[in-house]
Amino acid sequence: MRIHRYEKLWLIASLVLIVLFITTVTYGAVGLGIQLVDDREDPIAPADIADDERFGDPRVEQVGEDEYEVYVVAGQFFFDPGTFEPIEIPTNSEVTFYVTSQDVIHSFTVAGTNVNTMVVPGEVAALTVEFDEPGEHGIICNEFCGDGHHDMEAELVVVAEEEFE
C-alpha cells in the first residue's frame, strides 16, 4: 500500500499528539500527588456536631511521630480552630484536615497549598498535605455563604519543629 508523504506526516503527528495527551493526563492524575476529595468519611448531621467525638471538640491532634489530624468546623463566618486562634503545626509534618460545616456550604482553602475543598453540611471533607517549611498560611472560604463571606478567614502557622510544643 502506498501512502502519500504528507498523509504519513499527518498520521505520525496525530499519533504523537495522542500519546502526548495520554501522558499529560496521566501525569496530572498521578504524577503530581494531587488527591481528590472522596466520600470515605462518614457523614455527620449538623445538629450532631456538638456531640460528635471528632468535631465536638475541634482541635489539632497528634496521631503519629510526624502525623497530625486537624478537625475543623466551618460556620457563618468562622473556622474553628483557625479564626479565633491560629492552627499550629510543626514543620516536616503530614497533616490531614477533616472539615465539616454546621450551617451552609463553605470552602476550606489553605493558601499556598493544594488544600482547596468545598465544605458541605452533613459531609466531612478529608485532605492530607505535608508542611516542610515554616510560615503562615491564610485560610479562606471560597464559596459565597452569606453577608459575612468576605470576612470568613483563619490562619495556619507552621512553626519550626524544635519550637513546637
Give the binding site for ligand CUA (CB under 6 A): 77, 106, 141, 143-145, 149, 152
Judged by CB, which is closer to ligand CUA: 91, or 107?
Answer: 107
CB of 77 to ligand CUA, least distance (A): 6
Judged by CB, which is closer to ligand CUA: 49, or 158?
Answer: 49
CB of 145 to ligand CUA, least distance (A): 3
Judged by CB, which is closer to ligand CUA: 95, or 120?
Answer: 120
CB of 121 to ligand CUA, least distance (A): 11
Judged by CB, which is closer to ligand CUA: 110, or 145?
Answer: 145
DSSP structure string for the chain: ----HHHHHHHHHHHHHHHHHHHHHHIIIIIT------S-SPP--GGGGGG-TTTSS-EEEEEETTEEEEEEEEETTEEETTTSS-EEEESSEEEEEEEEESSS-EEEEETTSS-EEEE-TT--EEEEEEE-S-EEEEEE--S--STTGGG-EEEEEEE-GGG--
CB of 91 to ligand CUA, least distance (A): 29
